[in-house]
A and B are shown apart, each in its own frame.
Chain A
Amino acid sequence: MSVEQITGRYLTVDVAGRTQRIYFEEAGQGRPVLCLHTAGSDTRQWRHILNDREITAENRIIAFDMPWHGKSLPPEGFLTEEYLLTTETYMETVLAVVRGLGLDRPVLAGVSMGGRIALQLAVHHPEAFSGFLAIEASDFQPAWYSIDWFHRPDAHGGEMGAALVSTNISPYAPAAERANTLWMFMQSGPGVFRGDLSFYTQDESLVGQLHRIDTARTPVHFIVGAYDFTCTPEDAQRTADQVVGSTLSIMEEVGHFPMSEHPKAFRPFFVDGLAQMPKARAVVS
């Protein structure tokens, strides 16, 4: 028998004029590190990092479910609305969590669409963070598929989405973790993966903005898996090249969901990324 060190609670905040009840998990103490899940999934993707006693000895790891995801319910009135995530709402949600939890310039670690919004925040709101880990992150990824495939009455969008994203899981990933990673997609609410993909595959607003990031004030470190065929190492490199002073690491045996699909292979890269972030509260003049 064992009891994990992760604790979960709810935060209620206003985002873009709507009340959102947001579920978050945390573990550890010290430097705050706010972690963002991928599209169509939730905080459970970060379970291994949250349970890592060495990492949490010096870092307060926090992860939250975006509204409509995991244990964060959709807002009141959702049954008659179409969920479409936007850059503005996404940034505002992350900033609301930072303020709501009283986090003092956390490191922001985002994966996939979470990595995209981390870069957006590095451009538009760097003052709220001490550094950025952009994992499986790029400036823009147009889709070869129709996002409408994943919300239709004659098929299970979650199962279709899981099968699609399995393209991006490494064959080196342990079978159990591969299955767990896919299960979260299968559980995604109707239309939620589609709404996330709308942001991820159609919003080009980051293109041409990355030169504005000042890595002397907020360092940016990219991490990408060789088996990621949504955001390939070439996509991440192209993006990193636009962020002067950023660094990039490639994980040879990992795909698009590193912290969930292959935690053992991801861990050293995450630890290395954290080591490149400011140790504690940085003084910014």
Chain B
Amino acid sequence: MIERMKRIQADLDHLPHLHRLGALFSETVQIKVDGQEFYLVFEKGRIAQLLEGPSKKTPYRFSFVTDGAALEEFWTATPKPGFHDIFAMVKIGRAEIMGDILLLVKNLRFFKEVLALPRAQREVAE
């Protein structure tokens, strides 16, 4: 999973439209997959740091918690219903979103597109 996160970080560096969308997003987000914690430290639409947990000392604004199988399905080109979107994953009980939800919604397109970057990688590969 850390390799996936590193790839998201690297790909984001080359996507100027996401830098524009995330220009005002300089916050830390926790991604928790099968209990494994990752902290994405965003700086003006880029991931300035990628930290691995566990950590009780890393403040974050919101957290996206899911399991690896759900995330892998989310990253397929045509995920099954419920696995195609982070809020849909919450609705089917395969993810939780905690923290400052309004901050997430204000930056929702940016965050959704960043988290879905591995999907785009597969589409290119296929």
Interface of A toward B, CB cutoff 8 Å: 145-146, 149, 154-155, 159-160, 162-164, 166-168, 170-172, 226-227, 229
A-B pairs with the 6 shortest C-beta distances?
Answer: A163-B108, A163-B109, A167-B85, A167-B87, A229-B88, A171-B78
Given contacts A170-B84, A227-B84, A229-B87, contact A164 B105 (CB under 8 A): yes
Least distance between B96 CB and chain A CB atoms (Å): 13
Given contacts A163-B112, A167-B88, A229-B85, contact A145 B105 (CB under 8 A): yes
> Could you write out 27 A-B pairs with CB less than 8 Å apart?
A145-B101, A145-B105, A146-B102, A154-B106, A159-B109, A160-B105, A162-B109, A163-B105, A163-B112, A164-B87, A164-B105, A166-B85, A166-B109, A166-B112, A167-B85, A167-B86, A167-B88, A171-B77, A171-B78, A171-B79, A171-B84, A172-B78, A226-B81, A227-B81, A227-B84, A229-B82, A229-B87
Main secondary structure of the interface of B (DSSP, over half): helix
Interface size of B in residues (CB-CB distance below 8 Å): 18
CB contacts (< 8 Å) of B79 on chain A: these are 171
Q: Which residue of A lies closest to B108 (CB)?
A: A163
Least distance between A17 CB and chain B CB atoms (Å): 36
Binary A-proximity of B93-116 (CB < 8 A = 1, otherwise 0): 000000001100110110010000
Least distance between A262 CB and chain B CB atoms (Å): 12
Least distance between B94 CB and chain A CB atoms (Å): 12
